[in-house]
Amino acid sequence: MSGAYAGGMEDVVVCDFCGRQAAASAALTWTTSVEGGRQKRFCDECSRTHLRAIEGKLDSDWW
């Protein structure tokens, strides 16, 4: 957890593909991927849609 969202609120994570936001506790099933040394997160829907690309570790720029 980065702690970027201070103030007592639960951490919020954002899907790096569609921009969907969810509480960290609701995003446990999201997919995480490291691209170019930077961690990205993808929501359930994008994870399903792009499962092959994620598993192939293709850069999302090529999706």
Least distance in Å: CB of 35 to Zn ion? 15
Helix (H) or strand (E) holding 47: helix 44-49
Residues that bind Zn ion (CB under 5 A): 15, 17-18, 20, 43, 46
How far apart, in whole angstroms, are the C-alpha atoms of residue 53 and residue 57? 6
- Closest to Zn ion by CB, 13 or 43: 43
- Closest to Zn ion by CB, 7 or 56: 56
How far apart, in whole angstroms, are the C-alpha atoms of residue 2 and residue 10? 11
Least distance in Å: CB of 5 to Zn ion? 19
